Structure 1
Amino acid sequence: MLTDKEISQIREELDNCTNPLFFFHDDPDGLCSFLLFYRYIREGHGIVFKSKPGLGIKFFRKVEDYMPDKVFVLDIPIVDQEFLDKVKVPVIWIDHHKPLDRNKVKYFNPRISDKDDGTPVTRICYEVVRQDMWIAAVGCVGDWFIPDFFERFMEDFKGLVSKNAKDPGKIYFDTKLGELIRIFSYILKGKTSDAVKCFKILTRVETPYEILNKTTPRGKLIYKRFKKINMEYEELLGEAVKHAGRDKLLVYIYRENRMSFTGDLSNELIHRYPDKIIIVGREKGGEVRLSLRSTRKVLPPIIEKALIGVEGYGGGHEYACGANVRKEDFDRFVRSIRDQV
């Protein structure tokens, strides 16, 4: 976790802007980080970041379009120096992936002081704003992290999770809170315009029950969008589980004419098959975009070695990583992982 001084510095930056621009990662941790900050300040604009590998110069046009007085980058592991050099307003970057060396940015990352501290960005943002606990819970557990406020959350928001729940996987797939996490994840899928419409609605939703119980028009709209996307997810999941056999790897690849569910699928597959290494990929533009999961093997060094002689990149957390490799190199990449485990 960041220090009290660092939290105060972030709060001061947030309190002293009138038109911030928020770039956030397209997963529950990134979305909830944005929601916590936006709902606190009620100013600015959000940009969901779906590109790989990092926030590059092509996104500078968004800065030109919105003319912000400050830029916040939330849960995005890589920001190119070229982008930072072009932006002429303060940039505040909050992340929890492997620390990088950059100039012209105020960079906050718990791994700088403790390489093993992967506290989700949502938890950091909640410490800054101290409101909307239910959104903070969604982002934290969505990143497979049980926050220190979880007992109080269970008391304040009845019926979302069973008492004494401690396993993120079971919460994710067996509780109402887990359903809410999946809702937050799925509404970012598909067309960017649809994702923007949904996360704008979330800036106004007052309670989780509004969505889960469909008690308001906006709650009904969010849930309807989730149910539609979930149908495609369930089809892909049904195909993926057929690839589970005696092999220590579970590898499932699908084509780009389906939505991107690699992270969601890999999360559920590692929950169902904790003894395997999960590799889920989506073919797009001659590349395979991958999500990898494990419960026992630390993935970054394995991926780093597998990328030797392969056109691609990858990395992430200890047991949850992403990668992108050229389609022609994919089999070689997988063989290297299999040889290492």
Structure 2
Amino acid sequence: AKNAPGTISVEAWKKVEDAISFVGETVRLDIEGEEDLLTLAAIFLADIGTKIIYGQPGQGIVLVEVTAEKKRELADFLIQEKAREFMQKFSGKTLIVHDSDADGMSSAVMFGRYLKQRRKINSLFRVSDGATISPESKEQIKKLAPANVVILDFGGEAHNSIKELSQTMNVLIIDHHRMFENDFGNALYLNPHFFNVPDDYISPTSHLSWQICRNSDWLAAVGVIADKGFLAGSKLLKSVSKKYRRVDLGKIVGLIGSADAKGKSSEAVQLLLKMQSPRQMFKGKFAEWEKEVSAEVKRLVAEHKQKALFLANGKVVLYEIKPKFSLRGEMSNRLQQLYPDKIIIIGEVSEGHYLMSFRTVKLNTSFPDMIRKAAENMEGAHGGGHKKAAGCKIRLIDKEKFLDRFIRQIGGE
């Protein structure tokens, strides 16, 4: 295989993959060029527990045992290096498009501060359209005409818009959701899933952003907690907990989440950019939003006892809500705590569509795969996320067909 120095070519990657899957005692792979980085490919592609031996100048023979943490550590390092290298060419108008949740907001703040400190760029900010960039938003971005676009905490569902924008803009994507597309035009799409990191060790976007930007550690920790990235972010969480001993980070997760629930993510990002300490979170707008949201969550949790449906022989809890705020994610988390052995689906009717949030803890599921199968050939349907936490949007007229397909995959009627 051909492989240029300092790179891992697609051809070489595939040949390493073939070599690892070879059934036999010995396989030899000849490289035309340089093999210096192909040890990384071997680590990413090998099974957990595999031992890899390679030569390193100045040290001699090195033996590495492949672990989930080693895969994560190396993937995160490559993402950090490639993102920083890509941003070296940034100048002029820059737009940061981010998801509305705590993971997306905290990432946006870190990148905003990084670009201001390192590149002297005052970024513009925009909240995504759920997990995508709508045709309307795409046209507004084109009209704004930024030289650079940073997309945080989403990407796969927006690949068509990203591909088009990348023809005239420098587009960088930092994401951690499972993706089913690989054509993003000229954009640089960085995602730990590319490197076969096990799902439980995937870094949330906030953890990746912190490693790239190295600012706002407490805000990065909040994003990690909100997205349950405890294994990937364990060192960061330990450091931040020690540094801010008297700060309730869990409470801050709720405060920032309330901004998302109330549709105030854009305002929240501007407030966070001005904050120097996590203690500033406990007063002002965030406290006001959290009070309203908490009261609504309490009402919905109480009502589920009368309104929730138990489907698939009790394996699934379906609760259709009519909330004052955007609370599908929060409600799916709350019911997950009440029913840890079940699949939770929180549904909501909105403008001719049916929106759903999915959660589970113990069951061996892959929600993105299940959603794709259930929504097959449904016009305008899209969704995705993580194996045990995901979301989906379909037309309201497809609701019953979707749920029937979904339930059948679980083995229920």
Instruction: Sort the TM-score into its range (normalised by shorter chain).
Output: 0.7 to 0.9
In the alignment, which of 82, 100, 109 is matched to residue 191 of structure 2?
109
Instruction: Determine helix, strand or coil for the equivalent of 2:288.
Output: helix
> Which residue is equivalent to 1:158?
245
Identity, % of aligned positions: 23
TM-score after normalising by structure 1 = 0.84
State the 1:308 CA deviation.
4.2
In the alignment, which of 317, 321, 327 is matched to residue 254 of structure 1?
321
Between the aligned partners of 1:9 and 1:83, the Cα distance in structure 2 is 18
> Which residue is equivalent to 1:314?
383
Instruction: Determine helix, strand or coil for the equivalent of 1:80.
Output: helix
Extract unaligned runs of 5+ from structure 2: 1-71, 117-121
1:329 pairs with 2:403: no
In the alignment, which of 290, 293, 316 is matched to residue 229 of structure 1?
293
User: Does 87-96 or 232-241 show the bigger shift?
Assistant: 232-241
Between the aligned partners of 2:78 and 2:370, the Cα distance in structure 1 is 36
Instruction: Determine helix, strand or coil for the equivalent of 2:261.
Output: coil
In the alignment, which of 180, 187, 190 is matched to residue 259 of structure 2?
187
Between the aligned partners of 2:220 and 2:334, the Cα distance in structure 1 is 21
Between the aligned partners of 2:265 and 2:371, the Cα distance in structure 1 is 31
Between the aligned partners of 2:178 and 2:159, the Cα distance in structure 1 is 14
In the alignment, which of 213, 218, 226 is matched to residue 142 of structure 1?
226
Does the aligned pair in 2 maintain the 1:57–1:82 contact within 8 Å? yes
State the 1:132 CA deviation.
1.2
Instruction: Determine helix, strand or coil for the equivalent of 1:297.
Output: coil
Give deviations 1:113-148, integer Å, cap 9, x for gaps. 115353211111100111211001111111011113
Amino acid at match of 1:206: Q
Between the aligned partners of 2:364 and 2:137, the Cα distance in structure 1 is 35
State the 1:286 CA deviation.
1.8
Between the aligned partners of 2:104 and 2:205, the Cα distance in structure 1 is 7
State the 1:57 CA deviation.
3.5
State the 1:41 CA deviation.
2.6
How many equivalent residue pairs?
316
State the 1:65 CA deviation.
4.9
1:36 pairs with 2:110: yes
State the 1:211 CA deviation.
1.4
> Which residue is equivalent to 2:331?
265
Between the aligned partners of 2:98 and 2:303, the Cα distance in structure 1 is 31
Does the aligned pair in 2 maintain the 1:44–1:68 contact within 8 Å? no
Does the aligned pair in 1 maintain the 2:309–2:319 contact within 8 Å? no
Change (3 A) 1:205 1:314: same
Amino acid at match of 1:285: E
Instruction: Determine helix, strand or coil for the equivalent of 2:274.
Output: coil
1:6 pairs with 2:79: yes
Between the aligned partners of 2:309 and 2:398, the Cα distance in structure 1 is 23
> Which residue is equivalent to 1:278?
344
State the 1:310 CA deviation.
4.9
Kindly report the root-mean-square deviation, in angstroms, between the aligned alpha carbons of the 2 structures.
2.4
TM-score after normalising by structure 2 = 0.70
Between the aligned partners of 2:286 and 2:237, the Cα distance in structure 1 is 25
Between the aligned partners of 1:190 and 1:18, the Cα distance in structure 2 is 32
Extract unaligned runs of 5+ from structure 1: 161-175, 215-219
